[in-house]
């Protein structure tokens, strides 16, 4: 199809070869119909001539009348058979055109389904990639969270150790202060007794 662009619209025309083939087919169909009608007319005329020859003419022309009857019958049979075959062929051609259109519709539906399947496949691949990216992000987040938890646990243990060590030092200092206080109390109690 060749496009013809106009003012805001485009028209598509059939190529010249297709137009010529359609014209040739129409002419051949018309000629065939004329030939069929001519065969019927000629056959009828020959049959009538044969009948008239048998009825009117002498017995010496009986062979000619019989030949005319045979020839006319053959022409009539040929014309009628051609007309019958043409109608049968027309029916077959109509069925063929309907089947061709149905097949083209099925092909279009198949192409549409194929395009839909390809689109769905592309979407599924895209979704699979996005899911893989999300899984990787989740794994990274889990690893990061585990690392932070481990670090916080280490810091907490270090703080507990520091608190425990400071508490231990405080206990030791308290014990020493108690000992010093006890010794000073003993010394204070011993000095009055010695003076008396």
Condensed to tens digits (0 to 9), the pLDDT of residues 101-148 reads 999 999 999 999 999 999 999 999 999 999 999 999 999 999 999 999
H/E stretch holding 5 reads: strand 2-5
Q: Report CA torsion sign: 156, 162, 164, 167.
A: negative
Helix axis angle, 62-195 to 16-56, nearest 10°: 150
Residue 47 pLDDT:
79
Q: 1, 22, 25, 19: which is closest to 11 by C-alpha?
A: 1
Q: Report CA torsion sign: 127, 130, 134, 139.
A: positive
Higher pLDDT, 11 or 124: 124
Query: What's the chain's average pLDDT?
Result: 79
In the block, residue with structure tokens 């592309």 = 122
What gap in Å lies between CA 50 and CA 75, rounded to an integer? 13
56-104 residue pLDDT tens? 766 666 777 778 778 878 887 877 888 788 778 888 888 999 999 999 9
What gap in Å lies between CA 130 and CA 126, rounded to an integer? 6
**pTM attached to this predicted model:** 0.40
How much of the chain exceeds pLDDT 90, in percent? 36
Per-residue confidence band for 41, with pLDDT thresholds at 50, 70 and 90: confident
What gap in Å lies between CA 167 and CA 187, rounded to an integer? 30
CB 11 within 8 A of CB 3: yes
Residue 93 pLDDT:
86
Q: Where are the beta strands (DSSP E) in the chain?
A: 2-5, 10-13
Please give the backbone phi and psi of residue 154, each rounded to the nearest 5 degrees, phi first: -65, -40
The residues, any chain, with a CB within 8 Å of residue 173's CB and separated by 6 or more, are none
The two tokens of residue 193 are 């007794």
């Amino acid at each position: 199809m060749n496009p013809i662009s106009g003012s805001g619209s485009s028209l598509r025309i059939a190529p010249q070869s297709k137009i010529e083939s359609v014209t040739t087919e129409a002419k051949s169909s018309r000629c065939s119909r004329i030939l069929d009608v001519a065969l019927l007319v000629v056959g009828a005329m020959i049959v009538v001539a044969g009948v008239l020859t048998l009825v009117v003419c002498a017995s010496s022309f009986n062979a000619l009348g019989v030949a005319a009857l045979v020839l006319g019958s053959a022409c009539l049979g040929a014309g009628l058979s051609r007309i019958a075959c043409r109608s049968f062929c027309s029916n077959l051609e109509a069925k063929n055109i309907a089947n061709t259109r149905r097949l083209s519709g099925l092909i279009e539906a198949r192409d549409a389904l194929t395009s839909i399947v390809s689109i769905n496949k592309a979407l599924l691949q895209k979704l699979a990639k996005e899911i893989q990216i999300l899984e990787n992000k989740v794994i990274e987040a889990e690893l990061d969270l585990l690392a932070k938890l481990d670090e916080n646990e280490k810091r907490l243990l270090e703080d507990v150790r520091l608190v425990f060590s400071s508490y231990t030092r405080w206990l030791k200092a308290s014990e020493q202060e108690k000992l010093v206080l006890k010794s000073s109390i003993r010394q204070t109690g011993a000095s009055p007794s010695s003076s008396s």
